[in-house]
Structure 1
Amino acid sequence: MFDRTDAHITTWAIAIILFFVALGLHRAGNAKAMKIVHMILRLFYILIIVTGALLFWKHQGIDPALYGVKGLVGIWVIAMFEIILVRLNKGKSTKVASILLVIALLIVLYLGFKLPLGINFLA
């Protein structure tokens, strides 16, 4: 089990979609629906971390340092998702968090595709 990254990629792809759905619901003024989507997104945070940890423990012998960095940056992405949504609910600015999210997302995607378990089209 977990020789492939399908479950992990599926969970983070759904999480990204749910994040944008939550943003859209906030802009539409539908607070109740946004709260529901936000709670579902929190479930996907857990699934992302669990599938990522299982992949890390299974394949850490390949390049433990870079996979560790990728894991930390992945948690940074999750933290930025959460910070942005909470700040939106409180009516605070999300500009800095959004910039940090883009930076973290680019780093984690680069590492994910560059490392041996990823699709190596960045070579």
Structure 2
Amino acid sequence: MESVLFYNTHLHITTWVIAIILFLVALGLSRGQNKKSLNITHMILRLFYVFVFLTGLFLFMKNHAINEMLYGIKLLVGLIVIGMMEMTLVRLKKGKSATVYWIILILALIAVFYIGFKLPLGFHFFS
């Protein structure tokens, strides 16, 4: 079990891809009248926030010695992404403006992908 969590970058990638898809589905549902479907999707998304965090934390614990600063920054920016996804959905569910949260989410998402691709375990698009 430990080897699956500690050594598998693909598990982390799978969890955040599913989380992004669920976020987009929840965004689509927030425009409609079916609040029950939105609430169910939002709760499943919250579960995937936990999965994304845990798989990322396990990867951080295993690999932070490679480049402590970049891995630490990526962990913090990843937490910001999760927080902004949640805040954006909550604000939209309440019918309030989420412009600031959208801006922070997009900037943090760009930053976390850039840092992730720069790290040794990432894909080397920017080498």
TM-score bracket for this pair, using the shorter chain length: over 0.9
**2:54 aligned residue:** 50
Where in structure 2 are the equivalents of 1:52-71 lying within 5 Å?
A: 52-71=56-75
Q: Unpaired runs of 5+ in structure 2?
A: none
AA aligned to 1:15 is A
**1:72 aligned residue:** 76
AA aligned to 2:31 is R
From 25, 30, 33, the equivalent of 1:26 is 30
Q: Unpaired runs of 5+ in structure 1?
A: none
Inter-partner Cα distance in structure 2 for 1:87 and 1:99: 14
Inter-partner Cα distance in structure 2 for 1:22 and 1:89: 10
Shift of 1:121: 1.2
**2:125 aligned residue:** 121
Please tell me whether the aligned partners of residues 4 and 117 of structure 1 are also in contact (alpha carbons under 8 angstroms). Answer: no
2:8 matches 1:4: yes
Inter-partner Cα distance in structure 2 for 1:29 and 1:73: 33
Inter-partner Cα distance in structure 2 for 1:40 and 1:19: 10
Please tell me whether the aligned partners of residues 70 and 108 of structure 1 are also in contact (alpha carbons under 8 angstroms). Answer: yes
The count of aligned residue pairs is 123
Q: Partner of 2:121: helix, strand, or coil?
A: coil
Q: Percent identity?
A: 57
Cα displacement string for residues 40-63 of structure 1 (whole angstroms, at most 9, x for unaligned residues):
000000001100010011111100
Cα displacement string for residues 94-115 of structure 1 (whole angstroms, at most 9, x for unaligned residues):
1110011000000000000111
RMSD in angstroms over aligned alpha carbons?
A: 0.8
